Structure 1
């Protein structure tokens, strides 16, 4: 009996060691901090020196996360991701102070058939945009204001991801969690990516409903293509929002489209505000990156959005440039500059002290029409 008992213990220990050997957990993260100078940060036209712009570095949002994977055999696996966003200039948690505000998910997959993931996850539009944006979707308000149209993350999301040769498909559904109404606050979307060598083409269709079942629809297409030592980027988004659609996290109508608050008077979040009439946005991005030498990279980008609604027409244009130098595989330093301009109904957006919804309701914003930003940053990955 004792021999059998010892043999059982040894077998159990062996299985445990084997299971442990097939599992892995990784700690990772990014810290991006930049000294920032920005003009027209109040209605009087004053400038601001600060660490960070809108609490973010210019290239990346600071974060740390844990990701794990366990091989189950026969191509099956399970895993998780827990990712926290934080503000490096103050140490506070980002994403409204949530512990794992960037991502919190568990997944089950099979190498041939794809994977299912459940939890707080990126929108398919944000994921697809990453592949065709010159900065992979930036972080500072100056270079990332397109995410106020796409949204960044869904709560209560179920996502299927499958790869079929050069084609990848992502299908996502986010439950609204509203009693007696399966449509309110729900979202559904599909993204497709085709990648062959260094060429990438994407497409995405997304619909989100707010707490009163008003919709926001988004259509996205883009590409990334090599041209000798230069990589070219282009994408186009068309957004349609039903009258009164409200995607703000802090308003009376809370939708799962976005993880942001409605923003401060100096934030670009005004682009996302509520309109009493049907709203349309047409958004274009073009850019290029050039790896001059192994450590040196230059990036240029331009963004343009035109907003139309009943008795409203306005546009915003942004141009930016980055010179980035890699000190090592994990650490780089950079200088960046950006120029922003608004016209029409968005006039007075920068540094205004009125309500961010003022332009939507026809009241003039009292800020400035132009803004210049300059930054010098240090970024480290681990």
Structure 2
């Protein structure tokens, strides 16, 4: 009798929740991806030591999230998303150690587009990285392509974000109310200064258009530190699809007076960020790539990235010019719709001021094999 009663109660509760779900037209989805690889890396330090280790993916970092929507009627929906990066090799939280370091937002969506508030990825990240970068955001920290040097400019706190898709036209814009762009060291940030409305803020705008096989995009993003020094990035990108092949071409230009780029690309922590401010560091970063769907399960991708820097910190209290060259090859094989194995090889070479990024033999080779599962 007791078991029957419990079963009836559970059935009644399930039916009630189902009815509520139908009437409200609401949904909550758990999603994520686990990606682990074994990676070998040469010249990891000034002594040219090598390293063999397990790492959180070589293509996309592991993450878990919740996203939901509630139908408010009249074509309007309330939406939310919570996402956290994780390190499956040891079970820890990723990046900053926040519970939801990737995304934590809420907003409204309709025919006009989507307007959200909270901690969010920028339009630069959403479109450039996932549409125009042939490798998405593979190995940014180790390959040190320019978007990684933006650091806090890829995911921002205290922000209002708008995205809209109108046929082939995509528009994205974001504004952050004091996003704490004031490094207190190599990777720490302090808060916005009261009374300085323009300091510590950021904004970004991006537009792209797709017509058949061709997609083009361009945008600008600017961050300010608490002294109102600026880091400004411009980019323009093209993707063209030919049968089973995608061709990529892009260009980025960055001008930095905040010290963020120097601090994030340096191999060793910067003890005093102040010495890197107002140096007018310039980076020009063209890139190109191709991906080929050889067969239903096999995808091959190759990409090259270049960064030419001027007025860059050399590590000896001087500024100089230099370059970084990066080439990456990636092979992905799908075992199912959710699971794939992959292998990747990447090579980096630096000269001039860029040697602070690879202080050993000024070059580095990485090899990784891994597996990922989406859910």
Q: Which of 268, 273, 276 is the aligned partner of 1:274?
A: 276
Q: Does 1:196 align with 2:199?
A: no
Instruction: Verify the 8 A CA contact 2:267 2:356 in the aligned structure 1.
Output: no
**Structure-to-structure mapping, 1:38-49, within 5 angstroms:** 38-49=41-52
- In the alignment, what sits opposite 2:184? none
The CA distance in 2 between the partners of 1:14 and 1:282, in whole Å, is 55
In the alignment, structure 2 segments of 5+ residues that lack a partner are 1-15, 179-191, 270-274, 313-318
In structure 1, the partner of 2:342 is: 334
Deviates more, 1:141-150 or 1:163-172: 141-150
Which residue of 286, 303, 314 maps to 1:301?
Answer: 303
Secondary structure, aligned partner of 2:20? helix
1:322 aligned to 312, 330, 339, which one? 330
**Cα displacement (A) at 1:19:** 5.8
Q: Name the CA shift for 1:92/1:274 in 2 (closer, same or farther; >3 Å).
A: farther
1:104-183 counterparts in 2 under 5 A?
Answer: 104-111=104-111, 113-130=112-129, 131-143=131-143, 145-150=145-150, 151-176=153-178, 177-183=192-198
Instruction: Show the counterpart of 2:260.
Output: 247
2:222 to 189, 207, 212: 207
For the aligned residue pairs, the C-alpha RMSD in angstroms reads 2.4
Secondary structure at the counterpart of residue 217 of structure 2: strand
Deviation at 1:135, TM superposition (A): 1.4
Deviation per residue, 1:326-376 (Å, 9 max, x gap): 0000000011100000011112532x4xxxxxxxxxxxxxx3300000000
Alignment check: 8 A CA contact 2:134 2:301 kept: yes
Q: Aligned in 2, Cα 1:21/1:197: closer, same or farther, shift over 3 Å? A: farther
Deviation at residue 16 of structure 1 after TM alignment = 6.6
Counterparts in 2 of 1:21 and 1:72: CA distance versus 1, 3 Å: closer
Q: 1:289 to 1:67 in 2, by over 3 A?
A: same
Alpha-carbon distance between aligned partners in 2 of 1:35 and 1:274, rounded to the nearest angstrom = 35
CA distance in 1: counterparts of 2:17 and 2:362, whole angstroms: 68
Task: State the aligned residue count.
Answer: 333
Q: Check the 8 A contact 2:252/2:284 in 1, yes or no.
A: yes
Flag the 1:75–1:127 CA change in 2: closer, same or farther, 3 A. Answer: same
Q: Report the counterpart of residue 54 of structure 2 in structure 1.
A: 51
Equivalent residue number for residue 237 of structure 1: 252
TM-score relative to the length of structure 1? 0.82
Deviations 1:227-276 (A, max 9, x none): 2321101111010112xx1338xx9xxxxxxxxx9478379xxxxx9355
When you count helix as a share of all residues, which structure comes out higher?
2
Q: Secondary structure at the match of 2:195?
A: coil
How high is the TM-score relative to the length of structure 2? 0.83
Structure 1 contact 138–144 (Cα < 8 Å) conserved: no
CA distance in 1, matches of 2:23, 2:90: 38
**Post-superposition CA distance 1:202-232 (Å, at most 9, x none):** 1111111011110011101101111232110
Provide the residue aligned with 2:232 in structure 1. Answer: 217
- Residues 46, 239 of structure 1: alpha-carbon distance in 2 compared, 3 angstrom cutoff: same
- The one of 317, 336, 344 aligned to 2:352: 344
d(CA) in 2 for partners of 1:98 and 1:299? 33
Instruction: Label 1:266 to 1:47 Cα distance change in 2 as closer, same or farther (>3 A).
Output: farther
Structure 1 residues 179 and 380, CA gap change in structure 2 (3 angstroms): same
